[in-house]
Amino acid sequence: MSRKKKEKTILHNVLIEDVAAEGNAIAKVDGKVLFVPQAVPGDIADICVTKSKKNYMEGYIVTIVQPSPYRQKPFCPHYGICGGCKWQPLPYRMQLEAKQRQVYDQLVRIGRLDVPEIEPIIGSEKQRYYRNKLEFTFSKRRWLLNGENPDEVTGTDRLGLGFHVGGFFDKVLDIKTCCLQPDPSNDIRLYIKRYAIEHGIEFFDLREHTGILRNLTVRTASSGETMIILSVTGFDENIAELLNAVADNFPEISSIYYFINTKANDSTSDLTAVLYRGKEAIYEEMEGLRFKIGPKSFYQTNSAQAYNLYKVAREFAGLGGTETVYDLYTGTGTIAQFVSSYASKVIGIEYVQEAVDDAVANCKANGIENCEFFAGDMKDMLTSDFIAAHGRPDVIILDPPRAGIHPDVAKTILEAAPDKIVYVSCNPASQARDLSILSAGYSISRVRPVDMFPQTHHVENVVLMTKSGK
């Protein structure tokens, strides 16, 4: 006996009231909170409910009955399908207000932390074309758009080079134009796709793990330099000719690398980057300092806002020239070098050895002699023995991954008892958790968000902690 398909619930004329977490908006219906993506406060819409729990519901817009007076027309042709830039319909002023509120909610309302008045968020001068790095995926079976018949979209029309569709590991949206990275990013991607199709180079099948072309990374620097990194399952004459053609058609590309990746996943941290053509690295500049960016280097993806972020961190540190500073999760040593002229000594610790190598090279190129860098897992590196060997920190600056810090790291920081802790985070939720642990010996003195990612709900946040009682 066939099971009757459950009919979907449609809620009519729902007023969208506010912006919520994770890029959603919220409404209230019959005492329940309703989370809706791609909605703007002031919209009146019919909503299809996809999930209904005791205290909340989730749904999506079926029809906008009356658009909000705040609603903007999305500028990207892929809006609504591509998983990024969800806040395009939201005026930038409202994006900043929502991010400011997000920091407050995570630290105060949810985290229950004793926080002074949060300083105004620093907005990004550029709301488009602000990224210096994008990663694209090749797919033998691209995501089909509404109205496309899978029986009719075959052969080379089915090939795609773009971004993963949210929630699907094996679905890639073919990108015609991306408004996140400046030229020549779009032209390079489109040229590589066209060349590969014309010369029969096989795109990767994300289900069967067959094919040659896997991933493409484009890095652009404010200096005007460009790097491309191609990930392939094998290197042969066809790939060499492809890379030569790209170099010949885009003289602004200064570095071409490739990875050979035969694994089941796309990560390249454990692979060797092979320099095929051009310079070893591209460079970013900040206050006269030059930072080497290699194929595996971490560098903040919004170069202009990185400068503002680091200025806040340096201001919060309040260095007078005599301090020993520990820069944890230092990456390529950007923050360490940025504060080095204001400190006596800076110690940087980073997991990725290649990043540490770049940090050492950057210091040498910049004539900085008071920075030392060490590679290893933070919880294993930052120990009482390490601190005894390298000196107790007066100030600790940390900028960890989204997951935050390991409890052992928090414990060692408390034992080291620096005068100040400057915590830079891309995830106020995990930051709030860690701040709660560190509050055993410290008080929060200053908080300031920085918007690194316009059109998204993501926000960076800088917190200054000082010893309790000081």
Residue with tokens 């949206």: 173
Q: How far, in Å, CA of 30 to CA of 11, rounded? A: 11
Residue 106 in marked binding region = no
Q: How far, in Å, CA of 460 to CA of 451, rounded?
A: 6
- Residue 181 marked ligand-binding: no
Distance CA 338, CA 330 (A): 11
3-class SS string, the chain: CCCCCCCCEEEEEEECCEECHHHEEEEEECCEEEEEECCCCCCEEEEEEEEECCCEEEEEEEEEEECCCCCCCCCCCCECCECCCCCCCCCHHHHHHHHHHHHHHHHHHHCCCCCCCCCCCECCCCCCCCCCEEEEEEECCCCCCCCCCCCCCCHHHHCEEEEECCCCCCCEEECCCCCCCCCCHHHHHHHHHHHHHHCCCCECECCCCECCEEEEEEEECCCCCEEEEEEECCCCHHHHHHHHHHHHHCCCEEEEEEEECCCCCCCCCCCCCEEEEECCCEEEEECCEEEEECCCCCCCCCHHHHHHHHHHHHHHHCCCCCCEEEEECCCCCHHHHHHHCCCCEEEEEECCHHHHHHHHHHHHHHCCCCEEEEECCHHHHCCHHHHHHHCCCCEEEECCCCCCCCHHHHHHHHHHCCCEEEEEECCHHHHHHHHHHHCCCEEEEEEEEECCCCCCCCCEEEEEEEECCC
Task: Quote the CA–CA distance of 72 and 39 in Å, as a whole number.
Answer: 11
Has 426 been annotated as catalytic? yes
Q: Structure tokens of 162? A: 């773009």
Is residue 239 within 8 A of residue 274, CB to CB? The reply is no
Q: Cα(25)–Cα(35) distance, rounded to whole angstroms? A: 6
Q: Is 329 annotated as a binding residue?
A: yes
Q: Which listed residue (76, 85, 371, 426) is catalytic?
A: 426
399 annotated as ligand-binding: yes
Encoded tokens for 96: 């900043």
Q: Of 431, 216, 460, 419, nearest to 318 (Cα)? A: 419
Enumerate the known binding-site residues for S-adenosyl-L-methionine. 300, 329, 350, 399
Annotated catalytic residues are: 426
Enumerate the known binding-site residues. 300, 329, 350, 399
